[in-house]
Structure 1
Amino acid sequence: MNVWNRTFIAIGCHSRRFASQAPAYGHLPSSQSPFTPKLKFFNSVNSDGSKIPTYRVLDGIGIPLEGAELPKIDEELARKLYEKMLLLPTIDTLMNNVQRQGKISFYMTSHGEEATIIGSAMALAPDDEVLGQYREMGVLLWRGFSVDAAMAQCFGNEEDAATKGRQMPVHFGSPKHHFHTISSTLATQIPQAAGVGYAIKRDPKRRGKNCAAVFFGEGAASEGDFHAGMLLASTIPSPTLFIARNNGFAISTPSSEQYYGDGIAARGAGYGIDTIRVDGNDILAVIGAISEARRRCVEGGRGVLVEAMTYRVGHHSTSDDSFAYRPRQEVEDRKNVDNPIVRFRLFMENRGWWSKEEDEATKERLKQEIMTTFKRVERLKRHELKQLFEDVYGGDEPWNLAEQREELSRLLRKYGADWKPWRQELDRFRGEGKEMIDK
């Protein structure tokens, strides 16, 4: 018998002696999982067919459910919440039409998701860092970002101070409001948010006071970035609040084709983080869920996942026609049956905090205010084209930007006179920016 055989036999005998001395139900060192002699598989859906419950406070007609605990809001706060909910579709309807007229290049609405957005904004601290996807304009509006500033960003005009016309419409950013600039690349904000949360945790002035809140859709949760962010926030860990807007569609792909398990909430347990599913069309439920989720996130210094179940009433964007992949009647039914704005209005009316007369007057006032803002903002000048290359890096202009600027100058000299969209820009350059074209 060679030395290797003797070694394996010795190890085997030692293992048998150790096993005979161990208790009948121990656990593995790495998992703390108890042993069992029963063969049993598990899934996110229980054997009886039950699924993860959805937290709700108000029923479909605004009446609190029996046993539901309402968040602490008074009449003044309720009226503010409702007006912000009304403001979103008022802006969205106008700007969507403006895009159809060719005055801006792109737009995305929040129709049907007003309760999720405004409710989350209210429940977060004003200095929590927010990383949005592209339907979170309501968070900025709640924090004091003006309608003028929102429209200026969409037009890319001279009042667009943060992005200076260099971003697509609705790709907002505002350091003042702790709102990180939106990126079109899907889901990249999720691991970035986990990193922001970790930075907060390392800051003694913000540790235990703030979190990073990241918004994304159920389609974005199919990206690897989602899992990278969840893993980082659960293992490092970092105070990162993941808010998944499950609105039924990832552009044209229905949620039923996005995952086989029980939604996005089922994944939270896999990463060992606190998780809740909430009715995203019930603003009181959203406020309650996000408030508690934020508390756990900040105090525990670890990621928390909230899945808000809602429905995207509008098209994915102005580049999409959703009636090509879903029945028009389905959308109309959702507007009437599960409308988050109507549900909260009925709740307020039941409490004597609102009336139909006030509702009509407020809607008309908001329309007039939005239209006045639009007429002013659309007449403002755009940023000088030369600013495309300025204020990107500190210090001297790097070689790659210099090359790009020179290339654009050549293109303008060659095609500018015949290319109609550039005529106005050329006239502008003949003033202060003349040196760029003549170079």
Structure 2
Amino acid sequence: MLRSISSTCLPILHHRRIHLGHLPNSQSPIVSTLSFFNSITPDSEKIPTFRVLDGVGKPVDGAQLPEIDAQFARRLYENMQLLPTLDTVLYNVQRQGKISFHMTSHGEEATIIGSAAALELDDEVLGQYREMGVLLWRGFGIDSVMAQCFGNQDDMSGKGRQMPVHFGSPKHHFHTISSPLATQIPQAAGVGYALRRAPGRRSRSIAACFFGEGAASEGDFHAGLLLASTIPSPTLFIARNNGFAISTPSTEQFYGDGIASRGPGYGIDTVRVDGNDILAVLAAVREARKRTLEQGRAVLVEAMSYRVGHHSTSDDSFAYRQRSEVEDRKRIDNPIARFRLYMESQGWWSAADEEELKARLKADVMTAFKRAESLPRCELSELFTDVYAGEEPWNIKEQREELTGLLKKYGDTWEPWRTELAKFKNKGQDLTQSNP
């Protein structure tokens, strides 16, 4: 049972508090009133969301828009339009059986392109699997996107050994994507720490890590934020809260106030931004990057959006949400339409510009698709290269010899293998004509 402390004890307690300062390992003030808390904001308010453009592209009262000119705005918009153009073609191509897999960015174009534009080109990016737009912003090119998805001889991401949309490019400072959720989060903290220790980069480069709100439920999320805030390292964590982790809505993923509420627990600066407002994302990530670099420790950005498309080509989202819900979100809060309306109000865009852009992007994407479809895969022997640095280990040699023996025995006689071998450059002869 709690009871009041007699007034005769107060001078003694007061004297001891002055003498002792505060409890060990804490700056928390000592109080005599029992009080629980469940919020990081005053008066138990929810964390606010930063926005500068409303749903119809008009600046919000009192908002300070980031400084951009017409040329930069047009580049932002063209990249936003390129994403759905590519996604639509690749989604349909997968349905035709020409590639094995695809994931779209429908509804998240502002989050991805706005973040990409706020980063420096040599910041190290560790993505999840919807960050194709970051590579496009950095000049990766449509042909390179198609080559990776088809796994043909021009695929410099992984020589056809990775799933589609699992990009990687050392040239563009984009670390190769891996499928397991959240593995990139602690890795990003390690990359940030390496940058901090690199004399030529510690004052100019950060690690930027993208992930969905579903990945934030993994243990690696907590390990990454703890490492980057405590060691510390200049790592910017960008959470794409699009409302769904595959088929699980965010309301069933966590009880707390989104992902942003977790940042202060690790002592890092945090902001929540309207992920459908590209100018808000641009401004928020610019400031977050600045703080990351100046403080040398983690910063967390939560971008609130909505996944309009299916999770992937392996998913039918209408099995767990109403089609009308998706259509309403497309109509009410389309990030591309919102920014287009703003550009039109500034005199930076017109109906003619829109028509020309869509025709040009569609033509460019279809040209790249037809080229990628016509190219063979890499040589089959590339399956065993680039696995380990240094001298090739015995197990790789053994696996190559085993495959070579099987191909020599069955490659010309078994129809499934003969069909597959025809898709490779040199039709697998780089193995079958070599000595085992």
Is the pair's TM-score, using the shorter chain for normalization, greater than 0.5? yes
CA contact (8 A) 1:45 1:262 kept: no
Q: TM-score, normalised by structure 2?
A: 0.93
Q: What is the one-letter code of the residue matched to 2:117?
A: M
| 1:360-402 Cα shifts (integer Å, max 9, x gaps) | 2211111111111111111011111111002322343211112
Instruction: Kindly indicate whether residue 365 of structure 2 is the aligned counterpart of residue 376 of structure 1.
Output: no
Aligned-pair CA distance for 1:208: 1.9
Q: Hey, what does 2:141 align to over in structure 1?
A: 146
Q: Which moved more, 1:32-41 or 1:278-287?
A: 32-41
Shift in alpha-carbon separation, 1:400–1:263, aligned structure 2, 3 A: same
Q: TM-score, normalised by structure 1?
A: 0.92
Aligned-partner Cα distance in 1 for 2:76–2:146: 21
Aligned-pair CA distance for 1:429: 4.3
Shift in alpha-carbon separation, 1:148–1:48, aligned structure 2, 3 A: same
| 1:299-318 Cα shifts (integer Å, max 9, x gaps) | 11010000000011111111
Q: Hey, what does 2:414 align to over in structure 1?
A: 418
SS at match of 2:195: helix
Aligned-partner Cα distance in 1 for 2:254–2:420: 49
Tell me the percent identity. Answer: 69
Aligned-partner Cα distance in 1 for 2:417–2:12: 81
Q: Hey, what does 1:40 align to over in structure 2?
A: 35
SS at match of 2:62: coil
Shift in alpha-carbon separation, 1:418–1:281, aligned structure 2, 3 A: same
| 1:92-135 Cα shifts (integer Å, max 9, x gaps) | 00000000111111111000000000000000011000000000
Instruction: Kindly indicate whether residue 246 of structure 2 is the aligned counterpart of residue 251 of structure 1.
Output: yes
Q: Which moved more, 1:250-259 or 1:417-426?
A: 417-426
Aligned-partner Cα distance in 2 for 1:19–1:430: 83
Aligned-pair CA distance for 1:36: 0.6
Q: Hey, what does 1:195 align to over in structure 2?
A: 190
CA contact (8 A) 1:265 1:306 kept: yes
Aligned-pair CA distance for 1:205: 0.9
Candidates 208, 215, 218, aligned match of 1:223: 218
Q: What is the one-letter code of the residue matched to 2:63?
A: A
CA contact (8 A) 1:121 1:139 kept: yes
Aligned-partner Cα distance in 1 for 2:285–2:213: 18
CA contact (8 A) 2:274 2:304 kept: yes
Q: Hey, what does 1:394 align to over in structure 2?
A: 389
Instruction: Kindly indicate whether residue 132 of structure 2 is the aligned counterpart of residue 134 of structure 1.
Output: no
Aligned-partner Cα distance in 1 for 2:415–2:228: 50
CA contact (8 A) 1:26 1:35 kept: no
Q: What is the one-letter code of the residue matched to 1:21?
A: H
Q: Hey, what does 2:16 align to over in structure 1?
A: 22
Aligned-partner Cα distance in 1 for 2:13–2:405: 79
Aligned-partner Cα distance in 1 for 2:430–2:394: 23
Shift in alpha-carbon separation, 1:348–1:203, aligned structure 2, 3 A: same
Instruction: Kindly indicate whether residue 354 of structure 2 is the aligned counterpart of residue 359 of structure 1.
Output: yes
Alignment of 1:1-400 (within 5 A): 21-23=15-17, 26-44=21-39, 50-400=45-395
C-alpha RMSD of matched pairs (Å): 2.0
Q: What is the one-letter code of the residue matched to 2:339?
A: F
| 1:243-291 Cα shifts (integer Å, max 9, x gaps) | 0000000000111111110000000010000000000000000000000
